[in-house]
Amino acid sequence: MDLQSHRFLSYFEPPQAAELCQLAIMEHFSPQAVIFEESEIPDCLYLVLEGEVEFSKRIGPQQYQTIALASPDEFFGEFGVLDGQPRSARAIACGPVTLAKIPRDQLMDILDRSPGRVVLKLFGHIIQYLRYTTERYVSQIVHKQKMALVGEMVNTIVHDFKSPFTGIQLSSSMLKEMHPDEETVEWCDLIQAQVMRMSAMAEEVLEFTRGSTVLEKKPLRLSDIIQRFKKLNNIYFTNANVDFVLEVEDAVIAADENKLMRVWQNIVGNAVDAFENRRGRVSIAAVTKDQWVEIKIADNGPGIPEAIRDRLFEPFVTFGKRSGTGLGTAIAKSIIDAHGGQIWFESSAESGTTFYIILPLFQESIPISE
Residue type, 194: Q
User: What is d(CA 225, CA 335) in angstroms, rounded to the nearest whole number?
Assistant: 15
Nearest residue to 316 via CA among 143, 84, 62, 58: 143
- Identify the CATH number of the domain defined by range 142-209: 1.10.287
Nearest residue to 342 via CA among 357, 327, 361: 357
* Contacts of residue 126, Cβ cutoff 8 Å, sequence gap at least 6: 78, 79
How high is the pLDDT of residue 114? 79
**Ranges of each domain in the chain:** 3-114, 142-209, 218-360
User: What is d(CA 301, CA 317) in angstroms, rounded to the nearest whole number?
Assistant: 19
- pLDDT by residue for the chain (370 residues), tens digit each? 889 999 888 888 888 899 999 999 999 999 889 999 988 988 899 999 999 999 888 877 777 777 778 899 988 888 777 778 888 889 999 889 999 999 998 988 888 887 777 767 777 777 676 666 666 666 666 666 666 676 676 677 666 777 777 788 788 888 888 888 888 888 887 787 777 767 766 666 666 666 666 788 899 999 998 998 898 888 888 888 999 999 888 889 999 888 898 899 889 988 888 888 789 999 999 999 888 999 999 999 888 888 888 888 887 766 655 555 567 788 888 889 888 899 999 999 888 999 999 999 987 654 555 4
- Identify the CATH number of the domain defined by range 3-114: 2.60.120.10
- The verdict on pTM exceeding 0.75 is no
- What distances in angstroms separate CA 120 from CA 174, 246, 283, one per listed residue? 79, 62, 58
User: How do beta strands 75-76 and 25-29 pair?
Assistant: unpaired
Q: Do domains 142-209 and 218-360 have the same CATH topology?
A: no
Would you tell me how many other CB atoms lie within 10 Å of the CB of residue 85?
Answer: 11
Instruction: For domain 218-360, give the CATH superfamily.
Output: Histidine kinase-like ATPase, C-terminal domain (3.30.565.10)
User: What is d(CA 80, CA 363) in angstroms, rounded to the nearest whole number?
Assistant: 51
How high is the pLDDT of residue 366? 45
